């Protein structure tokens, strides 16, 4: 008996110092002498859990409990193992038993919180964290878990406070620093985010998730080479880290390395076949490189509930149209995503009508004035986020499904313009208002701030200032929203006439555009409108453009009268506008000649 006790004590010491093989051997020697020794069974179960042998671990700890059911630590360990097996409800039962034996068992309450988290019972999880904190105010882990709960609920400032408390209590808590960095990045505090990810990596240089998260921040700041290096390091540390492959795909896409991006998205999808976000982004990589066949197929994943992006708010029981003849039937065609998307893909409506009966077009209200005299549909409805249409129909489809339905390739894009026209009366109003001898240029410098990439695709109005110094040019602001107020802050020497207050919808904007000589716009709906009207349009693109603008081209296969000006380096609009200024000088010189 004394020998077994000494052996067990030595085994525990080896276990604590990381000598796992020796500990394993000595636990088994104890069990040879005492087959149901609960401490040896429990410790051997922990070893099996640490090795990922969860079934073996559950069996061993279960035997320890059968030998002595009054040890709370045994039940707590069993709960941890059951969680790892994906059995959170049974894990909660084990934790309940642990705290019934030891009511001040802070670790068990914290583990309860994690199990409740897995079940989506977030309020209860917070309560268990608070119980663990009450029992042991210096216990850092509940503050980290509480932070994650608060983060899930969108209470990001509160989450930051909880994560900071965890790092104060446990300065070497790499996981809490990683979580803190993630939330700070969500709030746009990227410098602080980088500091926290780097601190997590100083503590744990093998922390794959922190490398991947650091890469995300670096990519958002345009430091693509550094971002890619961090993703690759995360993959070296954890070759099964499918999110890191996905993030690497994003970084490579931003560099225009589409084939390599696709390869990494595929690896992520192979590891997690229903990975909706990877399918969605691989579609962008295919489309960006001009592989429309694969791109349209993967683009279907935008409807996945897992993706959680806003495309179209409603679901219908009626079948989706597959492009076949629908004579004597009613087809609902609806807009989705942004206004620019809607304008770009309205070109397909005249191709739909010849295949059947009645075409009902459901469009954003701000497009209705533009559409009132358009062909290609029989009825026009207002698209409402809150309610479905009550109009009867037999089939439905989105505008953005139509390229796939019609088998669009790079060579077969229906690019005839104009396919949008301005109202004649409104055109006359703007002709009288804008009448002068100048070369009239409409400018748009910002898109919707709700767009996920708006911080990259938009610029400041000040960037357009060099254009106002060109002799014979007059700038007109077509900008809408908060960004339109930037005109008021310009120096008096920079002359731009702001039209925004009189542009109530796209019908007004179209009429103003019709009376301009040129539109210069960042990637936003006005660029699509001008292109669809067949107006000379110069579109300014960020370093990593949206898929529809493709790579390297100075023209657009979607809009024959459009010219593309691309950033040569991330965030540098100065060089783009310098190029625009030079080309505008050249254009005016050729007109005078």
Overall average pLDDT of the 84-108 stretch: 95
Rounded Cα–Cα distance for residues 515 and 429 (Å): 10
Distance between CA atoms of residues 44 and 50, nearest Å:
10
Distance between CA 540 and CA 486 in Å, rounded? Answer: 18
Residue range 391-420, pLDDT digits in tens: 999 999 999 999 999 999 999 999 999 999
Task: Label residue 29 by pLDDT band (50, 70, 90).
Answer: confident
Mean pLDDT value across residues 138-142: 97
Residue 2 pLDDT greater than 70, yes or no: no
Query: In the predicted model, what is the mean pLDDT of the chain?
Result: 93
For 300-338, the pLDDT digits (tens) are 999 998 887 778 989 999 999 999 999 999 999 999 999
493 pLDDT band, cuts 50/70/90, is low
CA distances from 128 to 110, 132, 423, 563 (A): 6, 6, 64, 59
Nearest Cα to Cα of residue 237 among 207, 259, 213, 216: 207
Q: How far is CA 552 from CA 256, 404, 519, 541, 568, in A?
A: 9, 24, 21, 11, 10
Cβ(215)–Cβ(247) under 8 Å? Answer: yes
d(CA 181, CA 198) in angstroms, rounded, equals 9
> What domains are there in the chain, each with its CATH number?
326-405 (no CATH), 424-592 (3.40.50.2000)
* Whether pLDDT at 97 is above 90: yes
Residue 564 binned pLDDT confidence (cut-offs 50, 70, 90): very high
Which residues are CB-neighbours of 196 under 8 A, at least 6 positions away?
177, 178, 180, 181, 184
How many residues would you count in the chain? 593
pLDDT of residue 181: 98
CA distances from 471 to 126, 321, 437, 468, 474 (A): 65, 54, 12, 8, 9
What mean pLDDT do residues 95-115 have? 96
pLDDT in tens, 259-305: 999 999 999 999 999 999 999 999 999 999 999 999 999 999 999 98
Structure tokens at 346: 């309205």
Question: In 3D, which of 131, 122, 191, 134 has the Cα closest to residue 159?
Answer: 122
- pLDDT of residue 348 exceeding 50: yes
Q: Check residue 437 and give its pLDDT.
A: 75
* Position 516 pLDDT exceeds 90: yes
Whether 1 shows a pLDDT value over 70: the answer reads no
Q: Please state the φ and ψ torsions of residue 441, each to the nearest 5 degrees.
A: -120, 120
Residue 593: per-residue pLDDT: 67
Burial 20-50, CB ≥16 within 10 A → b, else e: eeebbebbebbbeebeebbbbbbbbbbbbbe
Give a three-class secondary structure readout of 125-158. Answer: HHHHHHHHHHHCCCCCHHHHHHHHHHHHCCCHHH
């Amino acid at each position: 008996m004394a020998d077994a006790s000494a052996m067990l004590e030595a085994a525990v010491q080896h276990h604590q110092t990381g000598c796992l093989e020796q500990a394993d051997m000595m636990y088994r020697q104890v069990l040879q002498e005492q087959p149901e020794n609960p401490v040896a069974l429990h410790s051997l179960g922990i070893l099996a859990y640490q090795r990922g042998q969860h079934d073996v671990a559950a069996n061993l700890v279960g035997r320890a409990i059968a030998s002595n059911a009054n040890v709370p630590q045994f039940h707590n360990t069993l709960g941890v193992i059951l969680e790892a097996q994906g059995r959170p409800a049974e894990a909660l039962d084990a934790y309940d038993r642990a705290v019934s034996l030891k009511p001040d068992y802070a670790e068990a309450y914290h583990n309860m919180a994690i199990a409740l988290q897995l079940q989506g019972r977030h309020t209860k999880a917070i309560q268990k964290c608070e119980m663990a904190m009450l029992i042991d105010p210096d216990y850092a882990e509940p503050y980290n878990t509480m932070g994650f709960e608060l983060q899930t609920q969108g209470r990001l400032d509160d989450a930051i406070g909880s994560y900071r408390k965890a790092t104060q209590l446990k300065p070497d808590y790499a996981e809490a620093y990683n979580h803190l960095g993630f939330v700070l990045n969500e709030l746009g505090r990227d410098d602080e985010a980088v500091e926290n990810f780097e601190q997590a990596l100083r503590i744990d240089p093998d922390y794959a998730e922190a490398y991947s998260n650091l890469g995300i921040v670096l990519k958002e700041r345009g430091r693509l080479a550094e971002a890619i290096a961090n993703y690759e390091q995360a993959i070296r540390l954890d070759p099964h880290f499918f999110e890191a492959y996905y993030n690497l795909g994003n970084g490579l896409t931003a560099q225009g390395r589409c084939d390599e991006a696709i390869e990494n998205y595929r690896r992520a999808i192979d590891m997690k076949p229903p990975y909706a976000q990877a399918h969605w982004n691989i579609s962008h990589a295919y489309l960006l490189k001009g592989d429309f066949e694969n791109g349209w197929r993967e683009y279907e994943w935008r409807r996945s509930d897992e993706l959680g992006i806003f495309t179209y708010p409603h679901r219908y029981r009626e079948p989706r149209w597959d492009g076949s003849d629908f004579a004597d039937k009613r087809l609902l065609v609806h807009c989705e995503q942004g206004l620019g998307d809607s304008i770009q893909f309205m070109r397909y409506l005249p191709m739909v009508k010849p295949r059947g009966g009645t075409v009902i077009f459901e469009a954003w209200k701000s497009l209705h004035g533009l559409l009132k005299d358009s062909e290609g549909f029989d009825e026009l409805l207002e698209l409402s986020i809150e309610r479905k249409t009550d109009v009867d129909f037999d089939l439905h489809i989105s505008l953005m499904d139509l390229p796939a339905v019609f088998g669009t390739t790079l060579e077969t894009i229906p690019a005839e313009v104009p396919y949008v026209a301005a109202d004649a009366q409104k055109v006359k109003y703007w002709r009288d208002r804008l009448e002068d001898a100048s070369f009239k240029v409409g400018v748009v410098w910002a898109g919707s701030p709700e767009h996920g990439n708006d911080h990259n695709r938009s610029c400041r109005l000040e960037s357009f200032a060099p254009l106002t110094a060109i002799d014979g040019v007059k700038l007109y602001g077509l900008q809408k929203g908060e960004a339109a107020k930037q005109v008021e802050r310009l120096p008096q020497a920079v002359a731009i006439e702001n039209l925004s207050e009189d542009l109530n919808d796209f019908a007004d904007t179209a009429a103003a555009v019709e009376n301009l000589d040129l539109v210069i716009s960042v990637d936003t709906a006005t660029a699509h409108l001008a292109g669809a009207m067949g107006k000379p349009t110069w579109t300014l693109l960020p370093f990593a453009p949206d898929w529809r603008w493709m790579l390297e081209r100075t023209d657009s296969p979607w809009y024959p009268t459009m010219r593309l000006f691309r950033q040569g380096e991330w965030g540098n609009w100065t060089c783009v506008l310098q190029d625009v200024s030079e080309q505008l000088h050249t254009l005016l010189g050729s007109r005078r000649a």
